[in-house]
Structure 1
Amino acid sequence: MDVLVTGGTGRLGQRLVQPLQGAGHTVRLLSRRGTGPGGVRGDLAVGGPDLRQAAAGAEIIVHAASDPQGDPWQVDVAGTRRLVEAVDRERLRHLVYLSIVGVDRIPYGYYRAKFAAEQVLLASRLPVTLLRVTQFHDFIDFLLDSAKRGPVLPVPMGWRVQPVDVGEVAAHVTEVVAMPPSGGVVEFGGPEDLAAADLARAWAGARAPGTHVVATPVPGKLSAAVRDGAAVPSGGARGRRTYAEHLHA
């Protein structure tokens, strides 16, 4: 089938090409510049004829585009509306939206935008699956490296996470694409429910020896939600690669 991947230059988008092609699909990667093998031009932030042309030919759409550092309401929410308007409803068989575990429970602005985008898709009456995944291993690396202050690495006390390998997410997306649309939410996470402090100690041991991890109480509703397991999947399939295996690869 003809598969259009939005966010084609992103961390996950680039990893989707090989498993999707291996499953026999023709893969096009949507990005603002449309460069590279399989690249097509289209900008969810502005819409226009390029987006309409790219979306109209798709039998399957993997909607992985997002803008966590900029204006997610423009790209994730308004951009999803533009995508919905651009698809060929008679041709489209499945739209898989990449969301995040906890968007419905964690009071964080970017998560609210992702949850709003989910509601746009549910209201569209398109054949959709909302695939919520946990944080990627290399994103956990980035967060911990950014939080380090000299020899000290402070982490929120009691936070629970279940990081997942991005390659396993790409493989799972390929499986979901071939399934009938769920019409709702499914989840996918890593193999282990871990405390943030334990993750930090493992990361420090492998990447920053001599770093002292300090578990620090963090007040507020967001912190309470993560302590209560809002970032941990309650169901769905699981990856196999542990965070320790990622660190020592």
Structure 2
Amino acid sequence: MLTEKELKEYCAGARENYLAHISIDCVVFGFHEGLMKVLLLEVKDEGEWYLPGGFLLKKEPIEMAANRILKERTGLDEIFLQQFHVFGDPDRSKQHFDMYKDMIAPEENWFTNRFLTIGYYALVDFCETNPAPDQFAAKCSWRDLNDLPELKLDHALILKTALDTLRLQLNYQPIGYNLMPKEFTMPELQKLYETILDKKLDRRNFQRRMLGFSILTRSDQPRKGGAHKAPYLYSFDLENYKAALTEGFKGGW
């Protein structure tokens, strides 16, 4: 929680620099050691957890603002970023309003605004990410999707909506280029899909369908070491992958 002095300084800066009533909240997904991860912020002195987010500069395009916010939190320039929903419940910011309403005059208090928030989800390379907290956070860290802390405000709803949208995307667009290492095996890619969908997939059907999309290139040699029948390594054909993102494909899992 901000002190009265910190609140006054923050609100003055926010009114001068940022667009009132609109914010951005981001659900950042990573994949590591067979687990889906979500990037979260723990607020200083509260011990409460939130999604990364921020406000729009007054003359800043929305997409540029989302990329700026994600770069500040992840250190990454090129991020797969998808706008998925606008959240506008009148009481969605009530917690912050109640927290600060008696500290300064309402006309000076940025948190008396009713904020609509634009939801984005991002797919990033877990190993390339350098999580960094914002000015309100004690830390910015990855948490397992199946072991999340309680999220404040409506951030649990935002996260659920992002995950539902990502699962829907799997039916008509490829997933994986931003989440997998440069080379991977077919079982590793299948594990990513199963983790996102939260269900088992038939191995032969999965491989047949993925190869049918023409977005994968198989290495001439299998992975070295390990079992006698070592699996082949694959990589994404970036040109075909981008085309599939644009044109889509039919089917469901």
TM-score normalised over the length of structure 1: 0.27
Higher strand residue share: 2
More contact order relative to length (CA 8 Å, sep ≥ 6): 2
Bigger Rg, which one: 2
TM-score normalised over the length of structure 2: 0.27
